[in-house]
Homo-oligomer: A and B are copies of this chain.
Amino acid sequence: MKKRVLISDIAKALGISVTTVSFILNDKAKEKRISEALTKRVLDYVKKVGYKPNQLAKSLRTGQTKILGLLVEDIANPFFSNVAKHIERRAYEAGYHIIYCSMDNDESKAKELIQLFIDRQVDGFIITPSEGLEETISHIKQSNIPLVLFDRFVPSVYTNYVVSDNKHGSYEATKHLLEGQNKRIGLISLYSNQTQMRDRLDGYMEAMDEFRMQSFIKKLHMETPDEEAKDQINEFVVDNKLDAVLFATNYLAVKGLKALKSCKVALPKMVAFDEHTLFKLHDPSITVVSQDIEQLTRELIHTLIAEIEGKLKEPRQLTIPCELIIRESSISL
């Protein structure tokens, strides 16, 4: 294991001072009017010996870690793991690294994790705020740590966020079902005050009201065991004689499919929120309201980096359109 070469080794070898080397390495050569020749000599030597600055020392000195903290609800959910993948790539392109974790809807774990990330001096946070995190988010905001909320936001905290236009997506999906001559359309959602859930409910309601149809809403608890959720879903669909169902999340739709298959009724028409590998392949393939992950993550990273670089005067609050992807599950054959 060869010894790490230090900036002082370079200075010594080239008979110049560390400052000069440091300036050159940090692209301050012309600003400090260091000669082209010397600059080149240093750069060449650096490349030759393969010098890499010690990031820790650099961070300690500058206060910048070039690390971003990503906290998602559940990294194993295909929506979030896809998002994570895009975020990681974009962050990497901008010279940042991602340290992540799943909060698993555990409020105290989430708080602890955020504190841990603050202690690690991440340069910024990307968070899908789960219930009960208002204060913590507010605390980050007050600490002036750059922050972008994602997928949902916290109305009480005026900060950056990038979310999908859930309400309109939900409205379109519901309208699509209504226009397919379905009368009895149910919504299966969660007991949750999160903005994305509320917006999806609003969109559904708006469409139902517009068509003067009675709404049927079933909410489940996040923690409901699968078996029980199954029974509740079946009961909801069968007892209300629903023609169609809108699922507020991809995993609710997955649960719904499992449930409805187990009882031998005909599958109602259905639409799910968020893509899932399953949906394209399922028979019938499942119509979805798809979030634009490319655009969401692009704006997300862009906003966060702008904030880190102090280029943001005001919080940036973006709402990205969703796309309704019509497949077999929502149309009459």
Contact = CB atoms under 8 A, between A and B. Distances in A.
A8 interface: no
A56 B52 contact: no
Interface string A50-61: 001111110110
Nearest to A57: B60
A240 to B, nearest CB: 23
Contact of A60 (B56, B76, B85, B283): B56
A1 B143 CA distance: 5
Nearest to A101: B88
Contacts of A257: 281
A99 interface: yes
B92 A144 contact: no
A282 B74 CA distance: 23
A117 to B, nearest CB: 8
A278 B282 CA distance: 8
A76 B67 contact: no
A254 interface: yes
Given A98-B100, A120-B97, A277-B277, A75 B65 contact: no
A214 interface: no
A191 B85 CA distance: 25
A1 B144 contact: yes
A119 B75 contact: no
Interface in A14-45: none
A120 B56 CA distance: 7
Contacts of A82: 76
A54 B121 contact: yes
Most chain B beta carbons < 10 A, residue from A75, A88, A280: A75
A140 to B, nearest CB: 11
Contact of A99 (B57, B67, B89, B278): B67
A325 B8 CA distance: 60
B283 A281 contact: no
Contacts of A56: 56, 59-60, 65, 120-121
Interface string A121-155: 10000000000000000000011100000000000
Contacts of A238: none
A78 B84 CA distance: 12
Contacts of A74: 85
A102 interface: yes
A102 B75 contact: no
Given A81-B81, A92-B101, 20 more contacts: A54-B119, A56-B59, A56-B65, A60-B60, A75-B85, A75-B88, A76-B84, A78-B78, A81-B84, A88-B100, A88-B102, A89-B102, A92-B113, A97-B99, A97-B101, A98-B101, A99-B99, A258-B281, A261-B281, A281-B282
10 shortest interchain CB distances as A-B pairs: A81-B81, A56-B60, A278-B278, A76-B85, A52-B119, A99-B99, A76-B82, A75-B85, A55-B120, A76-B81
